[in-house]
Amino acid sequence: MKNASAAPKMSKQQVDSDGFQIVSSKRFSKNKQTKIPSRDSKFEEQETIIDVDKAIKRIQSAADDLRASDYWKHVIESVSTVLSSRKLKTIVCFGLGHIGECNISRYQLALLLCLKDSLNCSDVLVHDPVFYKSECTILDNLGLQVIAENTEGGYVISKLDPTLLYLPHCPKQLTNNFLWSNWGPELENCILICNSFASLVENHPNRILKETVPFIAKISSFVSEIIIENNFVYTDIFNDTSIHHFPSINIEKLDKDFWIKGDKPNYKNTEEFITSLMVEKLNI
């Protein structure tokens, strides 16, 4: 299985006045740029006022760009193939980031909106502990429901109808928590769009994965993964993103002992995963 295309490695990062790294794609002569949150910035309580109307126009423009792309055509064809004749009831998205000021977040939200419209799915839930209040207003105006509580990926899917979970460039711990919350044969009702499991397995020792994200490590052999060619104009937005699903033919091979899940995973020494405890401390 081939890895998804990764964005070009960057040397010394430039950070703008807003604290965002400037990323240039070398694949295009126009040298288009986008922004990602600086890795040096710390998670802290803050509120930035966003021009809601202006932000919505930019997001809608991003969605138009995406709909016209070959990347989107591959995504929707792949998701539709996995769904077959089944009707998607719910889309859940964690980790969009600051949609009002970050170009990557804006286009990742645009993909969510394209999925919502193309699949005619009215029940779309979103959460990120870093959302500003004005960004929650943007999401509400776009017809999305903001989940107030930080469940750390602990969303339980329907046992009857398909659910699409969208985790754009989210920490692997979040994906691991979601798998733990739904650990059982019902995973066959899930379509998971996130960082490639195959890439994760190929780039990390099995021992480390079992220690840090045991549920990803355990289920990875039974996942069917569709790797989407990273051919969108901005190559740092959807790099390493794949569509994962859990075919019943694979799930049926697993016995009851396989689905023993134990206590909720506990993570140590990680800075990429914002826990509910971190948020609570900021609100004291």
- Whole-prediction pTM value? 0.80
Using the predicted structure, report yes or no on whether residue 50 has a pLDDT greater than 80. yes
CA 149 – CA 158 distance, rounded (Å): 19
* pLDDT tens digit sequence for 114-130: 999 999 998 999 999 99
Domains in the chain (CATH in brackets) are 51-282 (3.40.50)
**pLDDT, average across residues 42-53:** 72
Using the predicted structure, report yes or no on whether residue 249 has a pLDDT greater than 90. yes
- Which of 55, 203, 199, 79 is closest to 140 using CA atoms? 55
% of the chain at pLDDT higher than 70: 78
Among 7-16, 58-67, 209-218, the least confident range: 7-16
CA 272 – CA 43 distance, rounded (Å): 10
DSSP state of 185: G
Beta strand 90-94 with 163-166 is parallel
